[in-house]
Amino acid sequence: MTNGAESLIQTAVAAGLNVCFANPGTTEMPMVRALDDVPGMRAVLCLFEGVATGAADGYARMAEKPGLTLLHLGPGFANGIAYLHDARRARSPIVNLIGDHATWHLDADPPLNSDIESLARPVSAWIRKSLSGEDMAGDLAEAIALASIKPGNIATLIVPHDCQLEAAGNPAQVRAVAHPPHVGEDAIKRAVETLRSGEPAALFLGAYALRERALRAVARIAAATAPGSCKLMCESFPARWERGVGTPIIERLPYFPEPAIAALSPYKSIVLAGARSPVSFFGYPGVPSYFISPQQTTVTLATADEDVEAALEALADALQAPVYAETNSNLQTPPLPTGKLTPETMSAVVAALLPDNAIVMDESNTSMGPFCVMSQSAHRHSYLTQPGGAIGLGLPCATGAAVACPDRTVINLQADGSGMYTVQALWTQAREQLNVKTIICNNASYRILGIELMRTGVKEFGKQAQSMIGLTSPPIDWTGLSKSLGVPAVRVETAEELARELARALAEAGPQLIEAVL
């Protein structure tokens, strides 16, 4: 007889979900047993829940199907919230399975009891608690269907321990996943008028507008519009951006509001495709929240929740664009630099050595700003960033991306302060022998905070402010840290060393870490 836990795993496997990022506890033991009793599900153990949720995000972005997590009660789930926040902003499809106490035990308010729903609400589009073993399969199928609606949602299913043990029926089938709605004729028409007006305009891209299919349409649109009348721009922090040789050159919006506003200011109209109207990451006194001024016109071609791929294709057709437009077709990489490690030399080394079809997870923050421009005509790659701003996503997200794409190389450009949040991910990379090459940008500080503090008008940091920003005393030995968690590591201090060690790491199998001292 099948129990609730088994029916859950069966339902997930039947829906094509065959990887689960897990940190289970006592209340999830029936599901742990079911992992062996039901074939087809691979459980990837993470030593901290933030690794599990961040990996589910990276997996979902690359696999384009829901990342599944298995988490323990409220506190276990809480440890994963920060990267579910990032996943929500990335619009990644994720299904969380959270074990709960047996229903009959809740009245006793046992030590690990807490209000899981209240914790889950800010990061979940859908929350349900299963009421019986019979219900669980159907509940999960509904969660998967909701999560799978493009670009993706987070669905959280809470499964009490007793329900997991109860008799259950057959696994449930995921009903046809709802397609994102098509945009109306009007939206296409207004976009055409804008791009044909002869006035300077920008096409501002986000979400699925930055993936393969949409970018082919974007190239056609660019070919069908006059120079200056359709500047291609994109969000500061795209969830996934297909880039490199053969893809249109798109300007990434700067992070800070002043340069972002300056970048947008030449354009009379901005056509939004899959992106929200861009806003400042933080509110600074005297600086507006929105980067597009009231004097500019905003035209929404498609929101992230609409079928932006079809909308871009319809726009290209309406512009009578060629069926196929070649774009950015010459491979161009920077020469290998020499000398000190700086944001420029590090970026050049990685852009120059980037293998074809790599996945780049970029949480380098202040350390590798020039990389994006330097790599725009380098080998084709998928580029992942951190749309939600909860730092520490890089190592987990790279982990999940590597699980999703075992045949591709993942390069994680990783700031040191952020990396310390989720260093446990290295262990999972070692255990699963994932093809992740991590470059730790060791500037021994939360450099961004130093910049932010200077923005507040501080000329000289006080002793305590300095101590809140500096990751010195003691310095963190990233090479030692990595080796202790099973990932081979080296330390480099020049561009030549970085090039040599990155080339070696790329040639070797499995995870590798390079500590680059800036």
CB of 353 to its own copies, least distance (A): 27
Q: In the block, which residue shows the tokens 């990396």? A: 419
Near its own copies in 155-194, by CB under 8 A:
161-162, 165
Q: Which of 101, 128, 211, 381 touches its own copies (CB under 8 A)?
A: 101
Residue 223, phi-psi category: left (phi > 0), alpha (psi -120 to 50), beta (remainder): alpha
Residues in the interface with its own copies (CB under 8 A) total: 99
Q: In the structure encoding, which two tokens stand for residue 508, read together?
A: 């070797």
Q: Which H helix or E strand runs over 372?
A: helix 371-374
Are the C-beta atoms of residues 274 and 214 closer than 8 Å to each other? yes
Q: Which of 16, 122, 266, 406 touches its own copies (CB under 8 A)?
A: 122
| 347-379 core/surface letters (b: 16 or more CB in 10 A; e: else) | bbbbbbbbbeebbbbbbbbbbbbbbbebbbbbb
How far is it, in rounded angstroms, from Cα 70 to Cα 62?
Answer: 19
Q: Which of 159, 253, 352, 423 touches its own copies (CB under 8 A)?
A: 423
Near its own copies in 359-418, by CB under 8 A:
387-390, 392, 417
Of the pair 383, 427, the CB lying nearest its own copies is at: 427
CB of 451 to its own copies, least distance (A): 9
516 touching its own copies, by CB under 8 A: no
Q: Which stretch binds its own copies (CB under 8 A): 173-181, 240-248, 323-331, 444-452?
A: 444-452
Near its own copies in 455-494, by CB under 8 A:
456, 458, 461-465, 467-468, 471, 473-481, 483-486
Near its own copies in 202-241, by CB under 8 A:
237
Show the binding pattern over residues 17-56: x = contacts its own copies (CB under 8 A), - = does not.
-----x-xxxx-xx-xx-xxx---xxx-x-xx-x------
Q: Which H helix or E strand runs over 431?
A: helix 425-431
CB of 62 to its own copies, least distance (A): 21
DSSP tag of 340: B
Are the C-beta atoms of residues 363 and 421 closer than 8 Å to each other? no
How far is it, in rounded angstroms, from Cα 316 to Cα 46?
Answer: 44
Q: Which of 17, 71, 98, 119 touches its own copies (CB under 8 A)?
A: 119
249 touching its own copies, by CB under 8 A: no
DSSP tag of 300: E
How far is it, in rounded angstroms, from Cα 71 to Cα 80?
Answer: 8
Q: Which of 16, 40, 110, 266 touches its own copies (CB under 8 A)?
A: 110
How far is it, in rounded angstroms, from Cα 53 to Cα 82?
Answer: 9
Of the pair 72, 220, the CB lying nearest its own copies is at: 72
CB of 274 to its own copies, least distance (A): 16
89 touching its own copies, by CB under 8 A: yes
